[in-house]
Amino acid sequence: MRTIIIAGNWKMYKDVQETMDLVTQLKAAMPQLPANVVSVICPPFTSLQTAGAALRGSAFKLGAQNMSQHDEGAHTGEISGKMLKAVGCEYVILGHSERRQYYGETNELINQKAKKALSLGLISIICVGETLQEREAGITGQVVTTQIKGTLLGIGPQDMAKIVVAYEPVWAIGTGRVATPQQAQEVHQILRKQIAQLYDWALAERIVIQYGGSVKPDNAADILTQSDVDGALVGGACLKADSFAAIIKATKP
Ligand code: 13P
């Protein structure tokens, strides 16, 4: 049985005080997680240290939303994986569609970042997903296959234990337009099959594939009960403790 990972991508929300408040509420709402469930919160960089300290001893793990492909150096505005580890991060989201769309991140760059994260022992949550135009053109499978092949290029099977995949259809992010459970399951199957082709089936069966895009307490159970959906990457609904906790509680037993 695969672990279920419910991650909260806080995006560019919550300053330090707001982070303290939300973490305090989350710990109170979920002193323990259901068996087999891991939950990760991914606040903005400026809140990581605060969140990391506040989370110590709790059920939640800490992740970042992005990191540099470089170790250190003259890279103004960038944050290294080593810096993330120093404040307690175990996870890092890579290649979110907002990074791809607005900051020009390519599969090649995301691949470099994933390799850097692996070298530091960070677990990468690698995001893939098609735009509405691509879905309507009937090329969803092709798009996510190209993304997964490009971002995993040169990553050996022994490192795949530290890779999580998140399928986030771009048209479902922040729109309230969630993929149907069938649409999610179909793409998750395509991704798992592609991972099996790159490695083997035993490995592919162990990879956690999360769904992201308008996951809310009222639709989480339907999506999370799909056989190839192993958790969620939550945006809007992770900014309130009660709704994030409700999504965690909707995981299949
Ligand atoms: P929403 O849940 O707000 O649609 O965001 C999803 C997302 O992008 C998580 O990374």
pLDDT tens per residue across span 116-171: 999 999 999 999 999 999 999 999 999 999 999 999 999 999 999 999 999 999 99
Residue 210 — pLDDT band, cuts 50, 70, 90?
very high
The active-site residue out of 105, 130, 134, 168 is 168
pLDDT tens per residue across span 37-92: 999 999 999 999 999 999 999 999 999 999 999 999 999 999 999 999 999 999 99
Cα distance between residue 204 and residue 216, in whole Å = 27
As beta bridge partners, residue 5 has 38, 231
In contact, 197 and 239? CB cutoff 8 Å: no
**How far is ligand 1, taken at its centre, from the CA of residue 181, in Å?**
16
**Per-residue pLDDT, 252:** 74
Interaxial angle between packed helices 107-120 and 140-152, expressed in degrees from 0 to 180 and rounded to the nearest 10: 40
Task: Please state the φ and ψ torsions of residue 123, each to the nearest 5 degrees.
Answer: -90, 125
CB-ligand 1 contact for 173 (6 Å cutoff):
yes
**Per-residue pLDDT, 1:** 84
CB-ligand 1 contact for 65 (6 Å cutoff):
no
For residue 99, pLDDT over 90 is answered with: yes
CB-ligand 1 contact for 96 (6 Å cutoff):
yes
**Per-residue pLDDT, 253:** 74
**Per-residue pLDDT, 118:** 98
**Per-residue pLDDT, 194:** 98
Atom of ligand 1 nearest to the CA of 93: 10
Domains and CATH numbers, the chain: 4-249 (3.20.20.70)
